[in-house]
Structure 1
Amino acid sequence: MTASVQDSGFPWRKIGIWALIVVAGLVILVTIASAVPSNQWWIRAWDFPRLAVLTVGGLTLLAMLFLHFRFRWPIAALLAAALAYQAGHIFPYTMLARVEAERIDIAGAEREAHCFTTLSLNVLQDNRDFGRTLELVRREQPDLLLLMETDTGWREAMEPVLADFPHRFEAPLPNTYGMIFASRLPVDSGEMVNLTEPGTPSFHGELRTRAGLAFRVAALHPRPPHPGQDTEERDAEIAIAAMMTRNSGMPTFTVGDFNDVGWSETSQLFRRVGRYVDPRVGRGFYATFPAALPAFRWPLDHVFFTEEFGLYSLSTGDAVGSDHLPVRAEVCLAPEEGDRLNTPEQAEADDAGDLEEVMQAYREDQVIERATGEE
């Protein structure tokens, strides 16, 4: 006769308790780490998986209610506090929060004159399934197209669709930071610029709607935190882009793979300094990475605009072979309507100080890199 689990003598209950304690401890530790004001990659990386940490921690807390063991309640209290901290960051990106950008009601000739469509995609440089991206661009027919991680192979493969855009700005690179920006709208000026690091271009330009209204576009793809790469350069690039928007005084549309999430301190500062609206607030994550793991995705690819714009639509597309999903948006430059529809986050008293801290950390990092001969 087969022995039951109870009679087997194997300490299943004790193992279960210790597993809960270990998982609860890890959730608490990574939450504390994510709250530390540091530019170290291994700390800032915990900005990304807040939903996964919240989910795992929530299941652990639920399980702890059914297993009695010593110090259960103190551990549960610490875990609950960690979960509350995680939830506070991601709550604005749920449908329980107030929408920050109401949809604009526009149609017909006015929509054609004042609105434009955008498509952005980090193609994954090593992905050589060019056909799916070509089909995506042909199907969407965007007014503005941003492709990231584009090397010369990608640039040549995309020529059949790029030929339809009268304005193209290209910086194909072999280092996974190549970029292509193309526009069907009139372009007054535009250039690829390395704001903080060599070989990490971003696009900045002035365009016009079909009605002739001028606006700025910024397209960013800074480097992510990973071993050997802390966040001084990434944070500085995002901050500089925000200051460029503020100083221009022009309506600005910004798009790209920020290698940062919308709820991070860096992105929040970017929004306040640039007076940006985040159309995901109150609507959902619109998570794009990693494409192959729907349950564990986070939002790396962003669309922001200043309050002169109105949101017509926003969505993520199906996977096309990359590790990112494409992002589609349609916005309308209608200053009076935008002012009525949008409620951007208000500036805070310490924003100027936080901005200076970001730039000072970047300057110090550059001094260290020059002294050590690092690139």
Structure 2
Amino acid sequence: MPEEKRSRIRRVARQICAGLLAILAAVSFLPLLETDAWWIRIFDFPRIQLAIGIALLAGLLAALAWPRGPGLAPVALAAAALVYHLVQLYPYAPFAEERAAQVATCDEARRLSVLVANVQESNEQGQEFLEMVERHPADLVLVLETDDWWDRHLSALDEAYPRHVGHVAEEDAAFGMHLYSRHPLVEPDFVYLFDAFTPSVSTGVRLPGGDEVRFLGLHPRPPQAWSQPTTSRDAHLLAAALQAEAAESPAILAGDFNAVPWEETNRRAARLGGLLDPRHGRGLFNTFKVGNPLIEWPLDQVLFQEELALVSFEVLPGFGSDHRPVRAELCLHPDAAAMQTPPAPQEDDRAEARATIAAAEQMDMAAPASE
């Protein structure tokens, strides 16, 4: 191939790489805008993928020869975006500081294990799910996206989990919810924070030693279209965090949050509720989407207050759903509060939370009634 033609191909390849770098860098910074627009907020999710894409394109551009002069602008922007992603993701690196203290032993009377599983409404591999629960039993099993079919099949858990409550949504089965417990449930209730079809479960859980913890099971509704805002989802998380803050006993928030841990709303909820994330300093523990590494994120979460210490946290094997389940083992440890420090609220957190909740309430009031 003539040298002139090779030079032209390399120049076009450099231009393409530089253009793609500029695009990835631009969308990387979009979530910095204070907006509830889903088409912007969605770019909070793929920080890992964007960082990898920027690094690969930068390496390719280096192999093709770095641009000079004005051509360096997209490179500089991409470098800033890469640093931004790494700063956001750093707390979840295995070498970062562990925020939740881990204990090696725990009195059985004060131990509580929690399993969260989004079974996926369209998934009908019920036996695989039951076998997974049998292999990885927990004191509390929160099952999400349950419909009438799952309600019938989950009855096989009744003997092992004599205390259970369930809600099958009439209008939208993707937000059905069941909670199974080995321990007594204290005044369990399904509450509807911002619409009539998205339940959350709130209950006390009596441990064998007589202590009580507060459990809040969540599955906030994400935007269903690019044009919809994240207001309702954000308010759902923030309202639950405020409930945890007001609880008289140590609280646990668990579920499919439809939000990644590094989103500002998720972090604000953790600060307001004084909630510890076991992923801090231990890894990402991606749960969604099974089989598609291009959109793998840690959506399923178990957060807890400082009176509880961590015994273990793991992502379990899949069972046919698009989510992998997570299992956390916690300990109501007498020294837990002295061993760990939850994130402290920032000055504007409470005002921002109130504004988001008020906006979601207005949206709910303006929604047309279901026929």
Q: Which runs of 4+ in 1 moved over 4 A?
A: 4-11
Output the CA distance in 1 between the equivalents of 2:223 and 2:51: 21
User: For residues 346 and 181 of structure 1, what CA distance do their matches in structure 2 show?
Assistant: 30
Q: 2:84 aligns to what?
A: 85
1:75 and 1:205 mapped to 2: Cα distance? Answer: 52
Partner of 1:345: 343
Instruction: State whether residues 22 and 75 of structure 2, in contact with CA within 8 Å, keep that contact through their aligned partners in structure 1.
Output: no
From 133, 140, 163, the counterpart of 1:137? 133
Q: Which shows bigger deviation, 98-107 or 117-126?
A: 98-107
Paired residue for 2:25? 28
With normalisation by structure 2, the TM-score equals 0.93
Match of 1:214 in 2: 212
CA distance in 2, matches of 1:342, 1:13: 54
Separation in 2 of the partners of 1:45 and 1:27?
A: 14
Alignment equivalent of 1:63, drawn from 36, 47, 60: 60
Residue pairs, 1:188-199, within 5 angstroms:
188-199=186-197
Unaligned 5+ runs, structure 1: none
Structure 1 residues 87 and 9, CA gap change in structure 2 (3 angstroms): closer
Q: Secondary structure at the match of 2:322?
A: coil
Matched AA of 1:158: L
Are the counterparts in 2 of residues 319 and 325 from structure 1 also a CA contact under 8 Å?
yes
**Structure 2 segments unaligned to the other structure (5+ residues):** none
Q: Give the superposition deviation at 1:181.
A: 0.6
- Per the TM alignment, residue 96 of structure 1 is displaced from its structure 2 partner at its CA by 2.8
Residue 159 of structure 2 corresponds to residue 163 of structure 1 = yes
**1:361 partner amino acid:** A
Query: Would the alpha carbon gap of residues 5 and 275 (structure 1) be closer, same or farther in structure 2, given more than 3 Å must change?
Result: farther
Q: Write the letter of the residue equivalent to 1:369.
A: A
Task: Report the CA distance between 1:164 and its aligned residue.
Answer: 2.0
**Is the contact made by 1:125 and 1:176 (CA closer than 8 Å) also made in structure 2?**
yes
Deviation at 1:11, TM superposition (A): 4.5
1:248 equivalenced with 2:244 (yes/no):
no
**Structure 2: distance between partners of 1:14 and 1:357:** 51
SS of corresponding position for 2:335: helix
Measured in 2, the distance between the counterparts of 1:363 and 1:154 equals 31
- Offset at 1:45? 1.0
Structure 1 residues 93 and 5: CA distance shift in structure 2, 3 A: farther
Deviates more, 1:97-106 or 1:314-323: 97-106
Number of residue pairs matched by the alignment: 366
- Opposite residue 35 of structure 2, the aligned amino acid is S
Q: Which moved more, 1:212-221 or 1:190-199?
A: 190-199
What is the TM-score of this pair, normalised by structure 1? Answer: 0.92
Relative to 1, partners in 2 of residues 1:225 and 1:14: Cα closer, same or farther, differing over 3 Å? Answer: farther
Q: 1:17 to 1:237 in 2, by over 3 A?
A: same
Contact in 1 for aligned 2:190/2:199 (Cα 8 Å): yes
- Structure 2 letter corresponding to 1:224: P
Classify the secondary structure of the residue corresponding to 1:176.
helix
For 1:6-34, what per-residue CA distance to the aligned partner results, in whole angstroms no more than 9, with x for missing partners?
Answer: 68769531332132122112212211212
Q: Which moved more, 1:58-67 or 1:74-83?
A: 58-67
Aligned to 1:291: 290
* CA gap 1:245/1:29 in 2 versus in 1, 3 angstroms: same
**SS class of match (1:191):** strand
1:47 equivalent to 2:66? Answer no
Contact 1:122 1:322 in 2 (8 A): yes
Deviates more, 1:323-332 or 1:54-63: 54-63
Distance (whole Å) between structure 1 residues aligned to residue 294 and residue 24 of structure 2: 18
C-alpha distance in 1 between matches for 2:144 and 2:2: 54
Deviation string 1:320-372 (CA, Å, 9 cap, x unpaired) is 101000101110112x32112222111211112221221232234335435xx
Residue 15 in structure 1 maps to residue 12 in structure 2: yes
